[in-house]
Structure formats: C-alpha cells, structure tokens
Amino acid sequence: MRILLACGAGLSTSILMKKMEKYCAGAGEELTISAVPVSDIANNVDAYQKDYDCVLIGPQVSYRLDE
C-alpha cells in the first residue's frame, strides 16, 4: 500500500509515518508512506492520485478537506 500523510507543515505526520512504518515492518506488511504539507497536495493532485493508494490528512487541517 502507498499512503500519503498530510498536515500543516508535514512535520507532525512524519512522527506518525515512522510509527506506521515500524508497525508494518513488524507485521510483514509492505508499505510506502510519505508525509507532506497539505498545501503540496492541492498543488499536485494529479501526481498524487497516480502515486498513492490513500491520502490521510491530519485533524489540524481537516478544514481543508474540501479543497
């Protein structure tokens, strides 16, 4: 699975990213995960749709979900 995590600046989700990678490695699951600022998603929607199976946004930027 390829997951993109987005938050205000991409920093708080990088902590979550590392924990998810560690969990999946221990469970034998293949995972590609990246953390980016939510503004990057709005500027690169087409590229992200091709590269990721799932986009998760942090609760602090949920107000931007409609974008």
Helix and strand totals (H; E) in the chain: 3, 3
- pTM of the full predicted structure? 0.74
Q: Which residues contact 43 (CB under 8 A, 6 or more apart)?
A: none
pLDDT, tens only, 5-49:
888 876 677 788 888 889 999 999 888 888 888 888 777 777 778
Q: How many CB atoms lie within 10 A of CB 64?
A: 14
Say whether 7 is catalytic.
yes
Q: Which of 4, 5, 6, 7 is catalytic?
A: 7
